[in-house]
Amino acid sequence: MMTDKQNITLFRASVLRGMGADEGQVKELLAYNENVFQSDGPLPQFPLPDEPHVERWRLYLNEAQEAGVFQALSARLPQLRFPIEAGMSEREEYRMAVRRGIFPHATGLVLREPERMELKIHPGLVGGVPVITIPNRLDFEDVYRAILRKNEPEDVPSSLGAVMIGGFNNWDRINAYKQHWLEENSEELWPLEFNRFTSDKSAYQDRFILLSRGPYSKVSARELDMDEEVWLKLSGFIRLEHEYTHYFTRRLFSSMRNNVIDEILADYMGIVAAVGIYRSSLFLHFVGLESFPNYHQGRRLENYKGTLSPEAFILLQRLTVAAANNLEAIHLRHAQDLKDSSRRAGFLAALTRFSLEELAAPEALDFEWFTNRSVEGQIQ
């Protein structure tokens, strides 16, 4: 007798074959679309308490009100003290800062409009999360490189306007704990205490969001037949809720990836938060599939294709269009209930049970099939 997982895999493979995939492409896409969300069981009671790092970021927020955001964060995050230069990650001073918490005295990252940076703690159902907004696009790219690319001058996709950062080793938190600990203990014992302290990653690793400003996913207001100021405002709502959804799935379901299913879920939550209802046409513009089967080069979908072959990437596009259109129909079925943010959280939890193939399948539109595949009690 086959297990539920084996039956689901057979179903997913049949969906892919129905879309024209050969056996090699089936294998590629089954691996790419493997569901890694750990979403069994009931939802917790919302809202969740803040994660431990948020308390320290409230201190940064207070300091920013006096000194300015960039100055406050530069004093706490050593990556912001180094310029963006080739080979920076191999320099000894840089390694000492990011691997041992020995900060350099001078600040080396020069931004064009540092005074425009903003910092806030964004509240939500799974706790508050620090959000750094960087309106100047070139400044956003340099801070992105500093935090995520070890201050190396790597290209940043023009369609990338925000990122949820997880697992950031915050030496400021470690050094603050060490200073407090040494008030009652000797320096010689610190290596042992350091090993004990860092055995719990939540004690020193942070999660926070970097946001830019501008049209979401580099889609112009003209393309959407919208007023430019209205579209810029909606873009901000979508971008923030999109990244918070990544935080939501990471905290509740232990996954946050550069993968199409993650992007579908995050854009779903962002679009609904911004315009009150899910419109697949918006999402398809965002990822470059508004004129499918033609693909709009330079749009976001190519950021998530991983190592897929060109043929499998074309099939991924077909799956993405079908899944987005099905999701719109499913949302409309529950639209009244989904105006409530807690119910949307339950719906999101239900969606994490589906692979891309399942969400793209014609069966997804069958009410009984969909609810049977969802988390019990999380969608009505």
Write down the mean pLDDT value for the chain: 94
User: CA-CA distance, 302 to 68, in Å (whole number)?
Assistant: 36
Record the pTM: 0.94
pLDDT beyond 60 at 380: no
Task: Residue 131: count other Cβ atoms within 10 Å of its Cβ.
Answer: 20
Report yes or no: 125 and 203 within 8 Å, Cβ to Cβ.
no
Q: Is the peptide bond before 44 cis (omega within 30 degrees of 0)?
A: no
Report yes or no: 162 and 94 within 8 Å, Cβ to Cβ.
no
pLDDT tens per residue across span 138-195: 999 999 999 999 999 999 999 899 999 999 999 999 999 999 999 999 999 999 999 9
pLDDT category, 101, cuts 50, 70, 90? Answer: very high
**Any idea what DSSP says for residue 49?**
P
Mean of pLDDT values over 71-79: 95
pLDDT tens per residue across span 359-373: 999 999 998 898 887
User: CA-CA distance, 141 to 111, in Å (whole number)?
Assistant: 10
**Both structure tokens of 34:** 């493997």
Task: Residue 257: count other Cβ atoms within 10 Å of its Cβ.
Answer: 15
pLDDT value, residue 376: 44
